Structure 1
Amino acid sequence: MSSMAAAQQPASTLDQRVTDIVSVLLAREAPERVFAPPFLIAVPPAQLADLVRRLEAANGALRSAEGLVPVTPTSGRFTLRFEKATAVASFSIEPRAPGRVTGLRIGSAVPLADDARTIAADFAALPGRSGFALVRLGQASPIAAAHADSQFAIGSVFKLWVLDALAADVAAGRHRWDEVVRLGPRSLPSGVTQDWPADAPVTVETLATLMISMSDNTATDVLIGLVGRERVAARVRATGHSDPARMLPLLTTAESFALKLSPSSTREAYARADEAGQARILAGLDTEKILADADLTALDGAPTAIETIEWFASPADVARVLDGLRQSRDPRVLAILGVAPTMARDLRERFAYVGYKGGSEVGVISLAWLMRRKSGGWMAVTASWNDPAAAVDPQRFAGLAERLLRLAASD
């Protein structure tokens, strides 16, 4: 076989597999003939068929696949075209014959001729409250926005302000990225450091990276203790937060859990108190004992005090702190933000840089991206959804956010 033929062979195999995948999705081919057994164990044929039914119910009949882009000899992506939308799919195949499909991910469906007005209408259809902002950083008017100045519970997106305060301290010489500190009291997951040995030595840079990339709560609380709650509060104000009283006093993650797990009388007293009163309640809270004794499944049901015990910011506030972080002269700041970009690969390839932080709890989801275009301009996409009555749907919200990202990429 010539070298040219060898180079063409992977693309030819991938192209055939795209045809086969579509045949399975259209129920014209048996999944067992196309997909490898481990895939069908993870995603049984009935689940695959149900996925297609849901996609077609929302987007019309599946018509075709087009635009194969080989990524490696054993992976690629293509576009599924529905009657009313398109969706980018990525897949992988076995490296040897018969080259069955080992992975398939279908991204969010994007309506044909999608635009800011259509996206805003679909955000408005969410139960509860939602808002978003797509902005060119450094420009006054957003490209697209809805309720961008309204305050929302943002979950772990608040950790952007902790990173901002830490970066300011490093720049001022108060701390160093390679400084070693001891792990403090444990919070609850997410994260990993709550399971590490007590008082384990960890560098500041490692803690910051875990805080952003894995949303590690214990690492976050250690950094708040290192920098100081008041210094983080000062950065909340300095970044132009539009209603800092909603964010302050800044809760540690452990305090947030402890308050939510406390009797309703404590939660109600905290909600009624002013900032000074809330600080007094936090000072008297036996956080370690509450977390040790509580039934943690209580946090898995209905939303708990998401309008009073949380971290609050508007989409525009989040865009402002992202703007401050991107202007940092310390390359580690953007490196930390960019560890887990959480963006479809075809979208990432359209930007020179992507950083990300997300946050959620029952009834709350918030997503924030910082992007630099290959032409040099910086952009941010921030979005939040709160529903005090029920859990939110992360996949539905991620689909809306991806449409904003695609709008950003096409701007």
Structure 2
Amino acid sequence: MNVRSFSKRVRSIQVSAIKQMPIKAADVPGAISLGQGIPSVKTPGYIRRKIAELLERDEKLGMYSLQPGVPALREAIAAEISARVGRPVSWKEEVFISAGAMEALFTAMVSIIEEEDEVILFDPCYASHIEQVLFAGGTPVFVHLEEGEGWNLPIEKLKTSISPKTKAIVVCNPANPTGTVFSKDELGAIAELVQNHGLYLIADETYDFLVYDDVNFTSLSEFKNIKEQVILCNSFSKRFAMTGFRVGYMYAPSAVIEQALKVHDAAVIAAPTISQYAALAALTETPGEDSVNIHQLLLKRRDLLCSRLESLSSRFSFVKPQGAYYVMVRYHDSDRSAIEYADDLLYSAKVITIPGSAFGPAGEHHIRMSFGGSEDDIHKAFDQIERWSPHE
């Protein structure tokens, strides 16, 4: 059968290594994951119990919600944002519920980016941000973070990266994959550039709840001077261990929401109703005694993973993350590419990691490790890494 070629858009992107590595690992019995960012804890009991109750008595739970999302959930999100930014937030005009933060981010990109637009990404950056920019027809422009002591943002390099074609800057804070938490001064400098150049600022703040060592998190939505330019995307996946529910949201100026809802309608119609009510329970119900303090849990796991890395300092170097639950690890025991190194680690040591090159050019010769898994898995993974030598 003579079939016409696939679209230029889909041919320009690929499935990220974050998803490819677990697929490869499915053929490696007993592989231990330090790869994909999935917390090992269950969705909290109070959320599961509320959904079970609603399934029994609410006939509409299996139906579509309103296209922008369940009103009560949008109200709860607007109230939470309003408390943070110190100004009223319209749940009707400035918030819509998405199928995870990924859909909100994708919708944002498709809504504002046109062919030949440039979008600035901090490198290393979240892998899917690259594919989203490419799919929308844009050109990623990488501003390399300075690994040194903390993957710092070189503001002068950012300034010189802005061109007449620049449409937006994407900021993931706390950052995946580096664990960087950008300071208020750094964010203020970004906000000033965004304001002066009339750019959009797409803020991925999925890990806003997860910072360590008394580091302060500042949301980009707090900067009043760019209120009409910020598109904030967030998720319930990591904060409430709800990755499978696929529910998140966008907070943006009403003019952006109006356009984004067109994309949302064409792609998914509405976020899953049952997931929206799970998110509402997460925000409004009282946690039960069986609830886990995910922050304390992940802090302990971060320190464990970093301790195991420090014991292998001749082979690895890293910057201790201030947020999220990833460590970007530079390897010194091989000259192989990040993909080759991660594959060897998977097939020879049976440990899943993500090749750093998936996160942009600055990620080459790194692997990303997640400490979302159990302490037992972290110990087992490093025991196997200690016995392993990379092939050349």
Tell me which interval the TM-score lies in, with the shorter structure as reference length: under 0.3
The higher-RCO structure (CA 8 Å, 6+ apart) is 2
**Structure of greater Rg:** 1
Structure 1 length-normalised TM: 0.25
